[in-house]
Structure 1
């Protein structure tokens, strides 16, 4: 495989375009204090995103019919939900969800 300067520039530009929207808000908000109501509202965003991803994978759409449950995703969600309820940690929930899904896919 040949490494060309155009590809290196393209990869660097793609990395920069990806990095700017992630870093720029932190740089702009560095010295500001957000109102308490806005901070509380923003704290629900990770839970809402995780819930949307969870239910999107749990329910499988059928053409012209009602959605059905994915048994693989349902089986992987049981340990994930138990860890989420006991630990109240988003990080542990994601880690256990990935491990349980990988385990069920490997076994089944």
Structure 2
């Protein structure tokens, strides 16, 4: 594992791969907006993913705007996305369960305090 990959948040890594698989022509600015991270953060992440071979970038020769890139997942990137998806879902389910438990406890406490006050 490269040093750059160790610094990429696994959720961001997953979300970048997921978004680019769906829309490979997203700009870095659009990715930043959708991910809620800085443009510099997206640039760093994309460079790291290119370096480790999860995505490749190319521009269209016929496109007059040479700054427009197409980000494609490589076979290695597709395999990594599958692994990241599993981890992402496990983390989100654990967060959901913890949040649900907290909400249930607060609701239970609120119900108890309403009945305790004679209301």
TM-score between the two structures when normalised by the length of structure 1 = 0.28
Higher RCO by CA contacts (8 Å cutoff, separation 6 or greater): 2
The structure richer in strand per residue is 2
The structure richer in helix per residue is 1
TM-score between the two structures when normalised by the length of structure 2 = 0.26
